[in-house]
Amino acid sequence: MLSALHAIDTVLLAYVFGVFVLGGVIKGVSGFGMPLVTVPLIALVAPVPTAVALSLLPIIISNISQGYECRRHYHVLGLVWPLLISLAVSLGLAVQLLGSFRPEVLAIIIGVMIQVFVISQLTPNPPLIPPRWRFGTLIGAGLSSGLLGGMTSFYGFPALQALLALGLGRNEFILASSLFFLVGSVILGAGLLMQDIASPMHLLLSLACVLPTQLGMSLGEFIRERLSQAMFRGITLAVLSATGLAMIVRALTA
């Protein structure tokens, strides 16, 4: 690993590590959002497939650690399992499409839909999914997220919006989103390796990015514990909105 790191420009390496510290802080505070931060920022200095590959191990390890910290809320699995299973099936099939489509139009559509959802959640009484519609909504969200993820590598929409619309508590949401991103990142990583989009060198560099990610998460979790539920929800929506805007800008400037 050391020889691989020495072969990279020091300034570039510092930038990449800084991006993962920032991504870790965002994830520590909001419970999600790291790849939605790291991939666009790294894509400014490297190809998008490289940015996705470098994010793999930090995503997997950070979601394992964050999910473990919220393990006392495991009962949420009884609610969100349809989302996890449908994502696994859909993304497992659709990941073969990665790189086969021009993702710009999809990214713009997703970005706009994210903004519409965020605006709807800013109302005094944001809409929640009625209990009788939860199963079907979560299945649909998982299938569509997997399909979009297979085309673009971004599989958070509309699944995250569905999780928010369940009205979960803070730690329940963090556990549910950690499990969601863990499932998605493992399947996406396997697809990248099988298609030779990610190489062993990418995985070595990805492993090196785990430490700055964990440092950022520790800082983010310290901040999160001092936030009210309302402020936590506001930050979560802000991260979603920024993500949608970043996707739109990136697609328009590609």
Q: What is the pLDDT of residues 34-81, one digit of tens each?
A: 887 788 778 777 777 788 889 999 999 999 988 888 889 999 999 999
Task: Collect all residues with Cβ–Cβ distance below 8 Å to 84 and sequence separation of at least 6.
Answer: 142, 179, 180, 183
Could you state, in order of their start, the residue ranges of all structural domains in the chain? 2-253
Instruction: Rank 30-39, 150-159, 206-215 by mean pLDDT and report only the highest.
Output: 206-215
Average pLDDT in the 77-94 region?
95
Task: Collect all residues with Cβ–Cβ distance below 8 Å to 37 and sequence separation of at least 6.
Answer: 19, 22, 23, 26, 243
